[in-house]
Amino acid sequence: QFRRRNIAGLLKDRLPARVVALMREAGELADRLEVKLYVVGGIVRDLLLGIDNLDLDLVVEGNGLAFAKALARAQRGQVKVHERFGTARVTLADGFKVDVATARAEYYEYPTALPTVEQGSVKKDLYRRDFTINTLAVRLNRRQFGELIDFFGGERDLKGRTIRVLHSLSFVEDPTRVFRAIRFAVRFDFVLSRETRALIQGVVKMDLLRRLSKHRLTDELQLVLSEREPGKAIALMDELEVLACLHPDLELTPRLRTLLKATEEALDWYRLLFLDRPMESWLVYLMAMLQVLPDQAVGEVLKRIELSARQEAAVRAGRFGGHRIFRELGRRPAVSPAAVYRALSGTSDETLVFLMAKSKSEHVRRQLSAYVTTYQRMRPALKGDDLKRMGLKPGPLYRRILSKLLEARLNGVVNNEEDERALVRSLIGGRKSAVDRPEPPF
């Protein structure tokens, strides 16, 4: 009924030894509990593709929750059970996580048949998944350890680099799979099978994507635009007319193509500079898409999706705030660093990166770059406490002084703490009312 081959050797070669050891121990535990145990899904797919993936998803034919608890006990880990879904997450002592699910207890070949034992319920469990390449399983029980189980032609499609649904109602059942198909196709550089493509076009025609809740649409959009090559994903969404679920007028125009390329370059620049700073790069791609829509359509898209207040502010600033900023930074002779700071302070890094991509002026880009790399994080050496120690009475004056200090720092008027103290003294000179006690000697 299905192809079998043993890939225990591949597991050993490609996965860290402790993960393989864990798999073996889990398999032996399953033997003791007399249940069948499989590792399924993305990790098996990626193993065969030679891609690193350590998301251990286990499916138990039998009581998955009891198995998860026993696994946690045996491995001295913690278990968190989701009774309703029949799933559990086991967290091992070192933080490694394993997801455990219960496969349905029985599987019927056809409605009137007796439950089959051999093909067990894991087949049913796998049949509920999205694409053939995600339906591969590996048996972990000791005697069958490493046996690859392929009910639906997953290996064939991995070899043929094809994304294929399991049945024709797949996208109707769950339209978010359209986005998943696009993600996997772009991520692995796979093609959509002819039928899969036609089925996507069907749900697009039926307008099913427009019926997705805001929340789900936003989640999927974020995931698609967070893949490594969002430009390609957008091109595929355009080809399949999926972009229209955001707005009927949204399409991949030559202008958008150019902007996407520039976005990618600006993001690469940013990532190279700040490997560890968080950046919601997907928002930058969203800004690029909104850039080619008229103002009113932008509002309509923002109503279709669900962004946090911070995200929406960033997107709006990218789409609508550019003019003011470009006008300011575009002045000649160049405005001072402090003026650049004033124009950009409070702007999110996502917006800044987008402005970098959008601007065609080298002059403007240089200043954006100086802000991102230097000005943005500059602070005066003196703090409020220092002002207090200098005898200044705390109050609104502090903010004014500190901002003057920052401005002077940015413009290179002061370069060290001593300079700053001198500047403070000159700023308050003659304003005795602000000073509590006489200045201490320096």
Of 237, 228, 269, nearest to 256 by C-alpha is 237
Q: Does 220 bind ligand ATP (CB under 6 A)?
A: no
Provide the β-strand partners of residue 99.
57, 89
Q: How far is the CB of 177 from ligand ATP (least distance, A)?
A: 5
Q: Which of residues 100-159 bind ligand ATP (CB under 6 A)?
A: 129-130, 134
In contact, 101 and 125? CB cutoff 8 Å: yes
DSSP 83: G
What are the tokens at 192?
Answer: 């959509």
Q: Is the CB of 228 or the CB of 432 nearer to ligand ATP? A: 228
Of 44, 234, 228, 52, nearest to 132 by C-alpha is 44
Helix (H, G, I), strand (E, B) or coil at 410: helix
Q: Is the CB of 204 or the CB of 212 nearer to ligand ATP? A: 212
Q: Does 164 bind ligand ATP (CB under 6 A)?
A: no
Distance between CA atoms of residues 257 and 371, nearest Å: 27
Residue 357: is it exposed, middle or buried by C-beta count within 10 angstroms (0-12/13-18/19+)?
A: buried
Q: Which stretch binds ligand ATP (CB under 6 A): 173-181, 297-305, 346-354, 398-406?
A: 173-181
Q: Does 226 bind ligand ATP (CB under 6 A)?
A: no
Q: Is the CB of 42 or the CB of 330 nearer to ligand ATP? A: 42
What are the tokens at 366?
Answer: 């240089």
Judged by CB under 6 A, which of 25, 31, 147, 174 binds ligand ATP?
A: 174
Nearest residue relative to ligand ATP (C-beta): 42
Q: Does 227 bind ligand ATP (CB under 6 A)?
A: no
Q: Does 189 bind ligand ATP (CB under 6 A)?
A: no
Q: How far is the CB of 354 from ligand ATP (least distance, A)?
A: 25
Q: What is the largest CA-CA distance in the chain?
A: 98
Instruction: Give start and end residues of each alpha helix (H) in 53-119.
Output: 64-74
Q: Is the CB of 223 or the CB of 313 nearer to ligand ATP? A: 223
Q: Which of residues 51-70 bind ligand ATP (CB under 6 A)?
A: 55
Residues in contact with ligand ATP by the rule CB under 6 A = 41-42, 55, 129-130, 134, 174, 176-177, 180
